[in-house]
Amino acid sequence: AQSVTQLDSQVPVFEEAPVELRCNYSSSVSVYLFWYVQYPNQGLQLLLKYLSGSTLVESINGFEAEFNKSQTSFHLRKPSVHISDTAEYFCAAVDTGRRALTFGSGTRLQVQP
């Protein structure tokens, strides 16, 4: 992937509210798409990924992302956030023929009580 753009550097939201973190990518070839999460003082962890098949993918903790090829987007959503979701979220893409992930600059999700 040539680039991955996360337009929102910070997203403040109240607990139990819905949230959407936006991600757009550019690539001249097919890509695989990922969302990683980094909790405070921890390493990056894979949240979910799209490789093929259903364009809607889900994580075990209630997040989902939808691959939209026409809009070159892979936005992350959760219908109701918890305080514990406070973290930095990174969108990433890799061309199907390569191994090097291209990351966006990250979105800091701040869940307030």
Contacts to other proteins by CB under 8 A = 4, 6, 9, 32, 36, 42-46, 49, 51, 90, 92, 94-106
Nearer to other proteins among residue 53 and residue 113 (C-beta): 53
Q: Of the two residues 40 and 113, which places its CB atom closer to other proteins in the complex?
A: 40
Q: Smallest gap, in angstroms, from Cβ of residue 18 to other proteins?
A: 24
HEC sequence for 11-54: EEEECCCCEEECCEEECCCCEEEEEEEECCCCCCEEEEEECCCC
Minimum gap (Å) between residue 52 Cβ and other proteins: 8
Q: Considering only CA atoms, which of 92, 93, 86 is closest in space to residue 108?
A: 86
Q: Which is nearer to other proteins, 72 or 90 (CB)?
A: 90
Main-chain phi, psi angles of 83, to 5 degrees: -55, -40
